[in-house]
Structure 1
């Protein structure tokens, strides 16, 4: 059994998608970041950084004691390795492709797109400099993604944890982007949206917090 400490944000959804794809036995432990539950000491014993998602695997393959992990990229790698799916073997070039696009998501997509959303949706008044800077970077990132998806069907060739990591963060209406300009991204999103595991993951997210903006698949 795996406990998923979770709220249905972009970062939370990516772990839900993988768990559904793998059909592993797991339970969601809602951690309401809107009311500050991520700051509680009991949660921070599992996630030292005080951020969702985090997991506790009560039956890890190579350890005798339950294993807790935080940071979404680390969790994706661990679960995919454990199941032997959606992450190619360690000696392959394909695995390195998955890793480079996974780390691109962690290092660029989430930080910039999340900041853009905060400045657009939560700032008491518009801050033009920040909005212009972050919108320009969002447009650049969409361009990187569009070019890559003009070369391959999925980010690393085959559907992988790299796609699962990026997909929940591509929310064009919130990020001031028009998918008509990005036909490759649009086609990729439609392929992923059609996957039953993705649909189940979003449905479970709505059971936890139906009004979370990340759940809207525009």
Structure 2
């Protein structure tokens, strides 16, 4: 059994999607980041960075002792490796392709798009410099993804944890992007949105916090 410490943000949703795709038994342990629950000492003993998501695997492969993990990319790699699905075998070019797009999401997509959302939605007054800078980077990142998806149906070729990581972060209305300009991204999103596991993950997110903006699949 896996405990998923979670809130339905982009980062929380990607782990929920993988667990649903794997049909893995798990328990949702909501951590209300809007009220500061992530700052509690007991949670930081599980997630040293004090951020969701985090997991505790009560039946790990190694020594049988419960294993806790934080950081969504590390969690996706661990769960996919353990199940032998959605991540190609060690030493293959296909695995490295998944890794490069997963790290692209972790290193570029989330930092820039989350900051854009923050400045658009939370700043007491508009800050043109930040909005222009981050808006331009959002358009650049969308362009990178659009070009890749003009070549392959999923970012690493086959559907993988890289798609699951990127998908919840492509929120065009929040990020000032028009999918009419990105037909390949639009088609990719529709393919992923149609997957039953993705629909289940989002429904479970709505049961936890229906008002979270990341749950809107425009």
**Aligned match of 2:211:** 211
What TM-score do the two structures reach when normalised by structure 1?
Answer: 1.00
**Aligned match of 2:17:** 17
Shift of 1:155: 0.6
- The 1-side partners of 2:63 and 2:191 are apart by 36
**Aligned match of 1:73:** 73
- The 1-side partners of 2:64 and 2:73 are apart by 23
**Aligned match of 1:34:** 34
**Aligned match of 2:137:** 137
Q: Which stretches of structure 1, 4 residues or more, deviate above 3 A after TM superposition?
A: none
Query: Which structure 2 residue ranges, 5 or more long, are not aligned?
Result: none
Query: Which structure 1 residue ranges, 5 or more long, are not aligned?
Result: none
Give the secondary-structure state (helix, strand or coil) at the position aligned to 1:65. coil
**Aligned match of 1:167:** 167
- The 2-side partners of 1:117 and 1:43 are apart by 26
Shift of 1:62: 1.5
Shift of 1:35: 0.3
Give the secondary-structure state (helix, strand or coil) at the position aligned to 1:173. helix
Give the secondary-structure state (helix, strand or coil) at the position aligned to 2:172. coil
- The 2-side partners of 1:9 and 1:113 are apart by 13
What TM-score do the two structures reach when normalised by structure 2?
Answer: 1.00
- The 1-side partners of 2:182 and 2:131 are apart by 21
Shift of 1:63: 2.3
- The 2-side partners of 1:64 and 1:213 are apart by 38
- The 2-side partners of 1:35 and 1:195 are apart by 32
Instruction: Report Cα offsets for 1:142-175 as digits up to 9, x if no partner.
Output: 0000000000000110000000000000000000
Instruction: Report Cα offsets for 1:68-123 as digits up to 9, x if no partner.
Output: 00000000000000000000001210000000000000000000000000000000
- The 2-side partners of 1:163 and 1:74 are apart by 15
- The 2-side partners of 1:118 and 1:111 are apart by 11
**Aligned match of 2:91:** 91
**Aligned match of 2:117:** 117
Alignment length (residue pairs): 218
Give the secondary-structure state (helix, strand or coil) at the position aligned to 1:27. strand
- The 2-side partners of 1:194 and 1:59 are apart by 31
**What's the RMSD between the two structures over aligned residues?**
0.3
Shift of 1:179: 0.1
Shift of 1:61: 1.2
**Aligned match of 1:62:** 62
